[in-house]
């Protein structure tokens, strides 16, 4: 296991410690939160942990079932105690870019239904300003090129920097769990994430974007020195 994978494992396992018996928990998507799910599965089998969970993607659902985790429809739980998820970038305000795995809409729905959002990350995800990681925007397939054109107008970037995400195994466009496309925006820097999020989601063809503003409470950050806990500033 290489250094980055070791850090992901450290963060994922540490975050599982926030989960207590009887909790209602959202389970995120990605290579770091995978270790949280594996640890929760171990605790269910070995320690008798009893929790009710909601997955944010089909891939997370499949892994959770393999681990013997009890899954439920979100509405049936009437809110969640916490969600543990990953991020592609986060800044000092705990504003996030998410969606590298394509599950951004379900992730945001579940995050907004949770009392607390815990992010698991390795030290490569911490940035001074968001934008180096391309911003994912989920768009409906109907007239997606027109939606892309409107996004270009809003962001003032060339169409060549707004790329439809591809499934490299099939060489076809990637289809989200919701049956839509994802456009990845190469912005380089995002000066006003809340404003940009608001402008993007007002477009009729946009389902949502990968900016998570004011939602995350805690980051469990793994670096070579160990685990650092970063809390949202009051």
Inter-CA distances, 11 with 64, 98, 120, 130, 208, Å: 18, 17, 6, 21, 27
Dist CA 69 CA 23 (whole Å): 12
C-beta of residue 102 within 8 angstroms of C-beta of residue 174:
yes
Question: 166: which strand partners?
Answer: 173
Cross-sheet strand order for the sheet of 24-27: 52-55, 24-27, 82-86, 117-122, 218-223, 226-231
Tokens of 125: 């995800």
Residue 188 bears catalytic tag: no
Determine how many CB atoms are found less than 10 A away from the CB of residue 70: 11
DSSP E strands: which ranges in 166-225?
A: 166-167, 172-173, 181-185, 206-209, 211-212, 218-223
**Active-site residue (options: 39, 61, 89, 107):** 107
Active site amino acids: 107
């Amino acid at each position: 296991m290489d250094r980055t994978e070791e850090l992901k494992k450290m963060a994922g396992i540490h975050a599982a410690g926030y989960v207590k018996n009887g909790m209602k928990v959202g389970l995120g998507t990605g290579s770091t939160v995978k270790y949280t799910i594996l640890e929760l599965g171990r605790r269910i089998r070995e320690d008798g942990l009893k929790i009710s969970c909601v997955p944010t993607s089909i891939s997370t659902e499949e892994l959770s079932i393999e681990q013997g985790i009890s899954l439920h429809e979100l509405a049936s739980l009437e809110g969640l105690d916490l969600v543990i998820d990953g991020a592609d970038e986060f800044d000092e305000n705990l504003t996030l870019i998410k969606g590298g795995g394509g599950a951004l809409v379900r992730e945001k729905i579940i995050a907004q239904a949770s009392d607390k959002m815990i992010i698991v990350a390795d030290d490569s995800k911490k940035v001074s300003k968001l934008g180096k990681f391309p911003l994912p925007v989920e768009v409906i397939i109907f007239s997606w090129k027109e939606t892309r054109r409107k996004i270009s107008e809003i962001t003032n970037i060339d169409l060549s920097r707004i790329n439809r995400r591809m499934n490299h195994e099939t060489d076809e466009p990637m289809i989200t769990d919701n049956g839509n496309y994802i456009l990845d925006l190469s912005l380089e820097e995002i000066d006003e994430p809340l404003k940009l999020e608001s402008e993007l989601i007002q477009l009729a063809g946009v389902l949502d974007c990968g900016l998570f503003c004011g939602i995350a409470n805690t980051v469990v950050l793994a670096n070579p020195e160990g685990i650092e806990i970063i809390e949202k500033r009051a």
